[in-house]
Chain A
Amino acid sequence: MSYLFYPGCSLHGTAWDFNESTRQVIKALDLQMPEIKDWICCGATPAHQTDPLLSLALPAKNLVAAKDSTVAVCCAACYSRLKTANHHIANEPETRKQVADVVGTDYDGRTEVRHLLEILVKEVGLAKISAAVKNPLLGLKVVCYYGCLLARPPQVTNFDDPENPMLMDRLLRAAGAEVIDFPLKTECCGAGYGITDVKLVKRLSGQILAMAKETGADCVVTACPLCQMNLDLRQSAIEKDNETNYGLPVFFFTQLLGMALGVSKSALGLKALVVSPNELFAARGMGA
């Protein structure tokens, strides 16, 4: 199977560990996923808050560059923007024309966009992944946190059940982890407000961390660079505000899957995690 990869700005910056662990996972599973040549920013939240046409034109430029390949995405926000652009361009002839006018190329909105979780679970398949697991994550208790934009709105992303997505749960189970039911798996972490309104992020992310702790999980697994940053980087400040201690490592799903597939920890960017997982690994016999 071959795909073109759209990493997005975060995976080339703050979430470099998501990028490196993704490369390791796709290598271990014999997938081909070169980057789209000269990809540019999708515009993220600032574009759709500022100008509706810009918010469709930037994703369209990348999707035109991908031509007929299926585009693979890891960042939930990029995924949402690319899918939203496709949704409007494919269904609204007037939109298609306006986007073509500003981008300079007519684009039909039909280039396939998939999140890596969809590719792994729906296309590669759990049977193949289970067979490739060398070090099952036995005894590791995880909660899967999907955030907002993978499953919502369902008519745009068509990812999984919008209230109770299971793709990541099933993947981590195939990797041998004990996946605990998580009631807040699609609640908002505060998204991009970390810079402009940190109080909001601390309150929303705090609720997610408190619930994760309540379930008895060892750690939180995420599929979005912004969710991961809010839960990990802001965790100590949230602990201080709430006068408590969560001590929950917050992984990208590719980091734990990579470990299960036998990739060395140093190649999975675990050093980038702010809440260190070392103690947890030692306690679960997942050392070396």
Chain B
Amino acid sequence: MTLQVKNADIAGDFATNVEQLSGSRLLSCLQCKKCSAGCPVAGRADIKAHELVRLTQLGQADEVLSSRMIWECTSCQTCATRCPQQVSVAALVDTLRVLSRQQQKTSEQTTLPVFNDFFLKSALKHGRVYEVGLMAAYKLRTLRLTEDMEKLPMMLTKRKLRLFPTNVPGAAERKRLWKRVQAAGGKRP
């Protein structure tokens, strides 16, 4: 890809911030492209793994935070395992996901944040994820009402879906935990 880089962005502190938040030593990257060579989603990515690192180094916040790639990465950890410089693109992507949502730059082509929010809400409320409730909430919000519905009778006969949630004691404490986490502000500990 062709990069168009503004000097003002390079001079900013985006790269240093992301390095600190992700704990990944981005400035050590050699651009050897081993991460992208092993990346399962490189074939469809708008910005490939090694490009994500380079753009971050160059302070291109808008470009990386609004990319589809950060919501298509499967967190398979192949990049982090194979990098000769111990850079973790997987950790970088997690940090970019958090920043992308904080700064409201998330690509409109993904519904993953919606799914994540319902998942965590279910996990914190019941203590364990209630799959049927999660799916219903997600499908209603995203209007994906028909997708996979033909599998429903089969999944019920195979006992793959529980009709009622399990409620683990401690809901109030989990709610307080979530409030304390939010108060800490999404920072990497």
Size of interface on B: residues with Cβ below 8 Å to A: 60
| CB of A91 to closest CB in B, whole Å | 10
Q: Which of A50, A94, A101, A193 has the most CB of B within 10 A?
A: A50
Contact of B177 among A12, A57, A274 (CB under 8 A): A57
B36 an interface residue at 8 Å Cβ cutoff? no
Q: Is the CB of B40 within 8 A of A204?
A: yes
Q: Is A233 positioned at the interface, with any CB of B under 8 Å from its CB?
A: yes
Query: Does more than half of chain A's interface fall in helix, strand or loop, or is it mixed?
Result: helix
Q: Tell me if A139 counts as interface (CB < 8 A to partner B).
A: no
For the complex, is B115 an interface residue (Cβ under 8 Å from A)?
yes
Q: What's the minimum C-beta distance from B82 to chain A, rounded to whole angstroms?
A: 9
Closest B residue, CB atoms, query A194: B148
Q: Verify if A153 is at the interface (C-beta below 8 Å from B).
A: yes
Contacting pair A14 B112 (CB below 8 A): no
Is B168 a contact partner of A38 (Cβ separation < 8 A)? yes
Q: Find A188's partner among B40, B98, B128, B159 (CB 8 Å cutoff).
A: B40
Interfacial chain A residues near B41, Cβ < 8 Å: 200
Residue contact B135 to A195, C-beta cutoff 8 Å: yes
Q: A49-80 interface mask toward B, CB cutoff 8 Å, 1 = contact, 0 = none?
A: 11111101110010000000000000000000
- The reply to whether the CB of A170 lies closer than 8 angstroms to some CB of chain B is no
Residue of A nearest to B109 (CB): A197
Contact with A along B155-189 (1 / 0, CB 8 A): 10011111000101110011001101110101111
Residue of B101, B115, B131, B169 near A196 (CB, 8 A) is: B115
- Say how far B109's CB is from chain A's closest CB, in angstroms: 10
Asked if B97 lies at the interface with its beta carbon under 8 angstroms from chain A, I say yes
Asked whether B128 lies within 8 Å of A40 as measured between CB atoms, the reply is yes
Which of B3-11, B52-60, B68-76 lies on the face that meets chain A?
B68-76
Q: Judge whether A52 and B186 touch: CB under 8 Å.
A: yes
Contacts of A152 in B (CB 8 A): 76-78, 80-81
* A82 contacts B by Cβ under 8 Å: no
Interface residues of B in 82-102 (CB under 8 A from A): 88, 94-95, 97-98, 101
A272 interface hit (Cβ, 8 Å): yes
Central interface residue in B135, B154, B166, B180, by most chain A CB within 10 Å: B180
- Most A CB contacts (10 A, CB to CB) among B78, B113, B147, B162 go to B78
- Chain A: minimal CB distance from B167 (Å): 11
Whether A40 contacts B160 by the Cβ 8 Å rule is no
Query: Could you list 13 examples of A-B contacts with CB < 8 Å?
Result: A13-B162, A16-B160, A38-B168, A40-B123, A43-B123, A54-B181, A99-B189, A102-B177, A148-B78, A153-B81, A186-B78, A197-B72, A200-B72
